[in-house]
Structure 1
Amino acid sequence: MVLSTSALLPAIAHGQSLPASSSALWAAISRTSTAVLLPLDAVTHAAPGTLPPSYIVHLPARAAIDPASAITLLNNGAHAILTDSPHTLINQLGLPLDRIVLSITPDTATPLSELAADIAAVYITLPDALALHDAQTAEIISHYTALLDVKNTGKPVYVATNSSSVPTTDDIKLLASQAATLVVPYSSLTISENEAAAASTLDFVSAFFSPLVSDRADGLFPTLVVAAPSSSSLGLVYSSLPSLRACVYTGDATYQSRTRGLWRKGATSGATQQVVRVRVDCDSDAVELTVRQRQGTGFCHLAKTRTSCFGAREGLAKLEETLLARVQDAPEGSYTQRLFREPELLAAKLREETAELIEAKDSEPEHVAFEAADLLYFTLVRCVRAGVSLEDIERSLDAKARKVSRRKGDAKAQFVVPASVEKAAATTETEAAPIKAPQAPAAATDDNSLPIKITSYTAADLSPEERVKLQQRPAIGSSAILSIVQPILADVKARGDAALIELTRKFDRAELKDGKVTMLPPFNTPERLAGMKPEVREAIDVAYKNIYAFHKAQKVTTGNRSAKEAGLASTEGEEEAEAVLEMETMPGVLCRRFSRPIQRVGLYVPGGTAVLPSTALMLGIPAQVAGCPTIVLATPPRPDGSVAPEVLYVASLVNASCVLLAGGAQAVAALAYGTASVPKVDKIAGPGNQFVTAAKMCVQNDVGAQVSIDMPAGPSEVLVIADEEAPPSFVAADLLSQAEHGPDSQVVLVGIALSPLRLAQIEAEVDRQARALPRCEVIRKAIEKSVTVLVRDRGEAIRWSNEYAPEHLILQIRDAEGIVKEVENAGSVFVGPWSPESCGDYASGTNHTLPTYGFARQYSGVSTSTFEKHITSQSLTADGLRALGPHVVQLARCEGLDAHAEAVSIRLRELEAGASRQGRDALDL
């Protein structure tokens, strides 16, 4: 593996942690694909998703590392390991040489000539006496660049010094001219919108582009703009150092127009570009800018929708572009629309095309290409449907390429055709060659004939890496979804109601009556509730009563005094339902914590072809109990512009202020930004599809929106812990109740000391019950992503569950109540054989809007507090300030905040003066 070269190698020192992912400098380094040198301890403790795209792990000098840890580092994405003991890594650990950077000094005894042809790079630490500009330094660098044959191999030669002074751009340019890369302490780097930098720092952008040269009179650099992920050319532009700075600093593609000056692409037309990567060519006289073009817009200035100045996209990139457009606006009745709407049809076509590609003969390459093209089409439909882009696929391929350990690669047993069967099939085919008859589906690829079975593992047999992998959820792609969502958010923000009406017509296929995007109370009129069955109304009433009671109780369990007693009641008549935490932390120092409702909340209730009054209850009741003055309930309308009467009935029960007749990203945008008809809200809660989730995350990160959300969301999931006494039919039913939500759902069975017979009974029940359900094909796909883990005892079972952090945890074990105290991470727990998860979904009283995808480690499900904020107050008496004040003064001065200290001191002096005056008055008397 050849490491990417750059003008500098930022290095984080041992003992330092990774910067925050929101750091402008960290983001800029990622955009330039500059490798970063990270200490082992920082990598080991890094949170998921915080490591840069390209990094080298720096092992401490003469450090020992076990084989599994070294392999895990590389498998998890490290491009290389920097070490001064290469033979240990090679001979004892079996690591490939091309993933090792050798740390040396000019007098290192390591026979580098033996390794030079294979190692990834060398890292030279200069002696203290040598400076970068010394002639001897140039000789050392020349020796190693020749040894690594840098001119032909492109391998980096990293040069580090022990100097405490901050490197300069001249230092970087000097080493670049010698085909070497300077190691720069990360603590010395900074970044800003302009070139100005403190004397004690080095500006990253100036450093990165310092080797750039131009042969033009105007000093501009030719810049090739290419598309992500296809790397197809979009056009040729020119860049200046200020425009390149804007690209790296802001992430917005910015160029230098020869007539208009600095030019942010799409600032007026809307055809914006997001910078994915900036690279300098091998001669340092041209730039490549990889960008992600805003969905639905083009790059060419002659035609707004023309993708490239060199013509239209082709191949897979063109197919992806077409499918992304079709996913939102496929012609009614088209085949592509059917594939997006009917997962069973898409699954069948994928199996069919796979079989046909297998059957195509090597002697007919055109037939192989034809069948492969069909399979790629249906594969890309599957990916776009799940929000996975070609960029996501390429990223996954790159990650796989960096792995050094490989699985054996054998096929699963159900896909292996015995040699005798294959030979018989070939013989039959030869004998029947003259007859051209329609091909029947091969039995070996007919999944419907196979059992619907969860793959089983024994926990004791798993390696640490395998354990982590089993606890991971199916991957969710995001870049393609964001490219669709972001323009929708911008459109609603800019055009308000008009955009909502158009988008509702386009995406929900609904015509809004009289062009009104909201429905106002009363919602429970006979006309609006027509068609609701009496038994459904009764069920809603029972569910409302239970859910309201449980969420009402949550308000009185958060303090030790009533709000009325504390003089902090927020509304008349509700004092008894509010609690205040009040305590005297020391004599004369009284602290309080009390709640207030969030003023305006938006509740997203999925709809369209589905009717989900349960979600309206789960969101509306906590908001009602919290006392939120404005409750906006958003739900997609039916084709005639109406809303399901069951949802309207719940809207009436929870005293909703209005119902927004829109779904998807457009509804989220209306709630976040507000329109002429839709009140802007302060918080958005509720589940939704991948587009709704992406929109919620986007508006939460938009400072201008000033809106929060309840939690990140993902596909539904359940983990069932079962022992030998659990009824197999109950266990299977609980697993299937979540598997039917969608093909991305995941169900996990953790079996405690299950006998082979009991496990077989559970598996048989899963297969039998699944085949009787209308969503059998959806369940089959979910089961393929699901696992059974066999453990020895209850302790091991609960440890697995806590590590997995499920949305729903079902305990079908003896003395289930006794183990609840050991649950650390779960959205909601269902205890014992008579507590099916479905009761919590609808009417027991707990909430069914819960954290998924492992977020139960950090988030709680929706509750009354979701719609409240908590305020603290403190009251000090004079005696309290006398006792506490001097300590506060000391702490403020310790932190160098003298104004803080003076705010206390001025009062203490007044108290002392007052006491003196009282003393004198007493003497006068």
Structure 2
Amino acid sequence: MLPLLDNTDDGLLIVLARIAPILVPALHLPSLSLPPHSSYYVLADDASADHHQPHLEQVTSWLDSGAEKVVVPLSWATELVGSLQANRLLLLIDVENVSAVTDKLRGAVSGVLLKTPSVDPDLVSSISRFFSGSDVYVLSTSSSPPSPSTIRDGRVKHVFPTAQLTVSDSSETQINVADAFLATLKSDRPDGLFPTVVSSWPHQGKSLGLVYSSTESIRESILTGKGVYQSRKHGLWRKGETSGATQDVVRITLDCDADSLEFSVVQHGAGFCHLERMSCFGHLTGLSALEATLKSRLESAPEGSYTRRLFNDGDLLRSKIMEEAEELCNAQNKDDVAFEAADLLYFVLTRCVAAGVSLSDIEQSLDRKAKKVTRRPGNAKPQWSVPPQKPGSTQNPPVQPAEISVNALIRMRTADLALILSSDRAELLKRPVLKSDVMISKVKPIVDAVRKGGDTALLELTAKFDKVKLSSLVLRPPYSEESMAIDGEVSKAIDIAYANIRKFHEAQAERTTLVVETMPGVQCSRFARPIARVGLYVPGGTAILPSTALMLGIPAQVAGCKEIVLATPPRADGTVSPEVMYVAKLVGASAILMAGGGQAIAALAYGTETVPKVDKIFGPGNQWVTAAKMLVQNDTDALVSIDMPAGPSEVLVIADHTANPAFVAADLLSQAEHGVDSQVVLVTVSLNDEQISKIEDEVDKQARELSRVDIVRESIKKSLIVKTATVEEAVAFSNDYAPEHLILHLDKAPKVVSAIDNAGSVFVGAYTPESCGDYASGTNHTLPTNGYARQFSGVNTQSFQKFITSQEITPEGLQKLGPVVATLADCEGLQAHANAVRIRLRKRSSIE
């Protein structure tokens, strides 16, 4: 049924809004106040026209204001053809002028409203065929409403003037609203009941339960607006009559076969289910569950909790929304987009709950916007717009204007292990990098280009990615004094670091041959030999890293590698930083390749006209470098190995109540400044929100004083604070994460080291900053990242050595060992293996 508003009975309007859209004459719109959640069509005619305004503008304004559809006369329709979507228009015609509708006009509307003195179902069926696939509504100009039997015919969609509708008993001039609605229903059940799905209005799409309705229960629900159903055992069931869990009916809709119903309700009390939960099908999930949790926290969150802080601190909440929006825009793959979108929705919904806005309110706003046909251009406001990128650019444009980013707090994300699911815990262990297979597919064309094109391709790629045009790629000793000219204090610091690192790595070198007599006459040995040719990748880009040249060059030098090729990106002027050149001379580099990224790795792996091919590649780098290393080590044409899949830098800090917030923050930032893809993790042990806030405040304060604050801002927002209750829980999380660097800001920190199973390098106690290991304490800073500390060690002297075994067997030894070997060879069906032993044993027997 489609009620035509021709009076303004508010009570009747409220009832009608539960079961059908309301057809409103345009003349009534200015003074009309429709019930909440109601849907309406506008009936336009020449009497309602504003003759100073085109029909298109008038219809558009009604649709923009929230009308589902507009019914327009033939005199308007020709102007609207092609200008508005067909599904938003109905055509008003008299039964006499149906033939005046052209094919073009018929395709421009979604149906017709047919005015006729009397309802002839056969005639309506004929017109419906003419408007195939469209809705045909019939408005009888008779003073009496159609009878229930006429409504039940089903071939006609009736329009009822509201003057012919009543909430009282039906009469000759009026029909009860419930009677009119019930006349359209049909049941194929022996008991005449209708299956009814009850869904929650604030949580769209969430079913609360399955019940049954009768004509009596439907009638009462329509007229009272309360959830009333039919119990097959107990009769009429007024939901919540005894429990208090009542329902307000927002809308009752029929399914496509008119034999079952959906009740959309606002559920009060403990919920719909007798188990005192919202739904018979389980608890709320997703956004609905989050909304319920936030509403509960708004009422009862303890002072000092993070959620209470968000509710009380509008500036913090605003900053978090902007921060998470930027993280979502910068997310690269499916998992990261979902993760960042979830974070953003959490803070957005917190803002909404604080303002008293529900998911239902948001959905209604979306529905209203969807009804609009007028659209803004959709351009970003000036403060959010970014300049267009040049073709081929791979850089992500900034998402926020500089002034907003500078003012936003520099904050990490926070998770509490006690409050998250195991699946969410697994998400915390993931690094903010692309999947390796995706990166390998991206770097493969670069590697292939160098493998096939040699120096020519390498020069082109260096010009493209490093923005430097070089005439030659390789520097060889002797290196000029000018290229190594550095400040005296810097050279002194490098010399001290060199001595410490060399001392520690010389102690690791295998100098003696291992000899073991496994049985009389059988001697087995193992001895070390240096890898002849090694390639050392020293990152450049956003930082000068002579320390990496030290960490890679010294163990290569100590091991005795014959050829040491150092690769590093050139500076803008086409030179290598003098600090790296100084170290290259110290470690005895035999060549310096001025190239970076995947192209440098490819040159080291395959060699070019001027770049020596190496046997093993070492060194950290970004995702492109890591992917290229993984690619070439699996190519048999390259015949090259790698140290480890070393990617972007990372640190995990475990801190308890004894930790100095300034120390902790400094350690976190020392890794965050490496690059935008670096990650830092703070694992707290029984720290409350106030104690954690002190560390966060220090991070924000210290970060703003750094020259690389823009890099820190990007890396910190991808990083984590993980709350734990005990040291054991914190260490367990760290072992699962397997960090590159692990720093222990703990009471009795040395005792915790024995529990560490997975880490690249451990820094014990408040006065052992990770920076010392990075530069000069003696340990190596080229360490496994991305969780590879579970399988790999950091670079050490033995990384540059290979180990050869030998054995020597006397005739007496073979006499004892030979039969064992022959038996095992026979067992495996390898006759020649057994014969190699037996022929010797026979020879010895013949001599004896």
Place the TM-score, normalised by the shorter chain, in its bin. 0.5 to 0.7
Question: Contact 1:724/1:755 (CA < 8 Å) preserved in 2?
Answer: no
2:799 to 844, 866, 889: 866
Question: How far, CA to CA, are the matches of 1:607 and 1:499 in structure 2?
Answer: 20
How many aligned residue pairs are there? 493
Matched residue, 1:620? 553
2:470 maps to 1:492: no
Counterpart in the other structure of 1:713: 646
| Aligned pairs (5 A) from 1:239-388 | 382=330, 388=332
Q: Residue 535 of structure 2 corresponds to which residue in structure 1? A: 602
- Counterpart position of 2:816: 883
Task: Report deviation, 1:748.
Answer: 1.5
Q: Secondary structure at the match of 1:554?
A: coil
Determine the C-alpha separation between the residues in 2 that align with 1:787 and 1:529. 40
The residue type equivalent to 2:413 in the other structure is T
1:526 to 451, 473, 481: 481
- The equivalent residue for 1:775 is 708
Q: Is 2:584 the counterpart of 1:648?
A: no
* Superposition pairs of residues 487-886 of structure 1, within 5 angstroms: 487-512=445-470, 515-523=471-479, 525-530=480-485, 532-556=486-510, 578-608=511-541, 610-886=543-819
Contact 2:556 2:564 in 1 (8 A): yes
**2:431 partner letter:** R
Distance between the aligned counterparts of 1:617 and 1:747, measured in 2? 24
Query: What residue identity is the alignment partner of 2:429?
Result: Q
Distance 1:842 1:413 in 2: 46
The amino acid of 1:518's aligned partner reads: V
Supply the distance in 2 between the matched residues of 1:800 and 1:820 (Cα, whole angstroms): 14
Percent identical among aligned pairs is 56
Within 1, Cα distance between the matches of 2:676 and 2:570?
25
Counterpart for residue 911 of structure 1? 844
Question: Closer, same or farther in 2 for the Cα pair 1:642/1:451, shift >3 Å?
Answer: closer
Q: Which structure would you say has the larger Rg?
A: 2
Structure 2 unaligned regions, length at least 5: 1-317, 366-375, 385-399
Judge conservation of contact 2:336–2:432 (CA < 8 Å) in 1: no
SS at match of 2:721: strand
Counterpart of 1:250? none
In the superposition, relative to structure 1, how do residues 612 and 449 fare at CA in structure 2: closer, same or farther (>3 Å)? closer
Select which of 422, 425, 443 maps to 1:464: 422
| Distance verdict in 2 for CA 1:759–1:702, change over 3 Å | same
Task: Specify whether residues 645 and 582 from structure 1 end up closer, same or farther in structure 2 by C-alpha distance, changes over 3 A only.
Answer: same
Q: Is the 1:715–1:742 contact (alpha carbons within 8 Å) kept by the matching residues of 2?
A: yes
SS at match of 2:515: strand
Q: 2-side partners of 1:671 and 1:823: how far apart?
A: 35
Q: 1:614 to 1:417 in 2, by over 3 A?
A: farther
Corresponding residue of 2:355: 419
Distance 1:589 1:504, change over 3 A: same
Match of residue 410 from structure 2? 452
Give the SS at the match of 1:649. helix
Asked if structure 2 preserves the Cα contact closer than 8 Å seen for 1:830 and 1:836, the reply is yes
Work out the CA distance in 1 between the residues paired with 2:344 and 2:475.
Answer: 60
**Would the aligned equivalents of 2:433 and 2:677 in 1 still touch at CA under 8 Å?**
no
**Residues in 2 aligned to 1:911 and 1:438: alpha-carbon distance in whole angstroms:** 95
Deviations 1:538-559 (A, max 9, x none): 1111111111111111015xxx
Q: Which amino acid aligns with 2:355?
A: A
The superposition leaves residues 589-610 of structure 1 with CA deviations (integer Å, 9 ceiling, x where unpaired) of 2111111111111111122563
Q: 1:635-684: CA deviations, max 9, x gaps?
A: 12223322111111111101111111222222212211112211111111
Whole-angstrom CA distance in 2 between matches of 1:700 and 1:831? 35
Deviation digits for residues 159-199 of structure 1 (CA, Å, limit 9, x no counterpart): xxxxxxxxxxxxxxxxxxxxxxxxxxxxxxxxxxxxxxxxx
| Distance apart, 1:702 and its partner CA | 1.2
Partner of 1:8: none
Q: Which amino acid aligns with 1:520?
A: R
* Residues 529, 645 of structure 1: 8 Å contact kept: yes
Q: Is the partner of 2:484 in helix, strand or coil? A: coil
Give me the whole-angstrom Cα distance separating, in 1, the residues matched to 2:542 and 2:758. Answer: 34
Q: How does 1:19-34 map to 2 (within 5 A)?
A: none
Q: How many angstroms does 1:756 deviate by?
A: 4.4
Letter in 1 for 2:730: A
Give, in whole Å, the separation in 1 of the partners of 2:692 and 2:328: 34
Segments of structure 1 that go 5 or more residues without pairing to the other structure are 1-350, 359-374, 401-405, 427-432, 557-577, 916-925
Partner-residue secondary structure (3-state), 1:809: strand
Flag the 1:414–1:549 CA change in 2: closer, same or farther, 3 A: farther
C-alpha change, 1:636 and 1:407, in structure 2 (3 Å) is: closer
Equivalents in 1 of 2:675, 2:344: separation in Å? 31
Retained in 2: the 8 A contact 1:555–1:579?
no
**Distance of aligned partners of 1:691 and 1:467 in 2 relative to their CA distance in 1, 3 Å threshold:** closer
* Residue 880 of structure 1, CA deviation: 1.8
Please say if residues 742 and 760 of structure 2, whose CA atoms lie closer than 8 Å, have aligned partners that are also in contact: yes
After superposition, what is the alpha-carbon deviation per residue over 1:819-848, rounded to whole angstroms, capped at 9, x for unaligned?
212211100111111110011111111111
RMSD between aligned alpha carbons? 3.5
After TM superposition, the structure 1 = structure 2 runs for residues 12-161 of structure 1, keeping only pairs within 5 Å, are none
Q: Secondary structure at the match of 1:496?
A: helix
Instruction: Evaluate the alpha carbon distance shift between residue 744 and residue 644 of structure 1 in structure 2; reply closer, same or farther with a 3 A threshold.
Output: closer
**Structure 1 counterpart SS, 2:513:** strand
Deviations along 1:48-101, whole A, 9 cap, x unmatched? Answer: xxxxxxxxxxxxxxxxxxxxxxxxxxxxxxxxxxxxxxxxxxxxxxxxxxxxxx
Distance 2:611 2:625 in 1: 18
Name the amino acid aligned to 2:709: C
Q: 1:480 to 1:798 in 2, by over 3 A?
A: closer
Q: Residues 883, 692 of structure 1: CA spacing in aligned structure 2 closer, same or farther, 3 A cutoff?
A: same
Structure 1 residue 875: Cα displacement: 1.3
Going from structure 1 to structure 2, the CA distance change for 1:449 and 1:597 (only over 3 Å counts) comes to: same
Mapped partners of 1:447, 1:643: distance in 2: 33
CA contact (8 A) 1:511 1:640 kept: no
- The residue number in structure 2 matching 1:46 is none
1:402-455 Cα distance to aligned partner (Å, 9 max, x none): xxxx999644677658437999xx9xxxxxx9xxx9877899x95655543333
Using the TM superposition, give the Cα deviation of residue 585 of structure 1 relative to its aligned residue in structure 2, in angstroms.
Answer: 1.5
Deviations 1:514-571 (A, max 9, x none): x322111112x322223x1111111111111111111111015xxxxxxxxxxxxxxx
CA distance in 2, matches of 1:906, 1:852: 53
3-state DSSP class of the match of 1:811? Answer: strand
- Contact kept, 8 Å, 1:605 with 1:615, in 2: the verdict is yes
Q: What TM-score does the superposition give when structure 2 sets the normalisation length?
A: 0.54
Q: Does the 8 A contact of 1:609 with 1:638 survive in 2?
A: no
Deviation of the 1:870 alpha carbon: 0.9
- SS in structure 1 opposite 2:509? helix
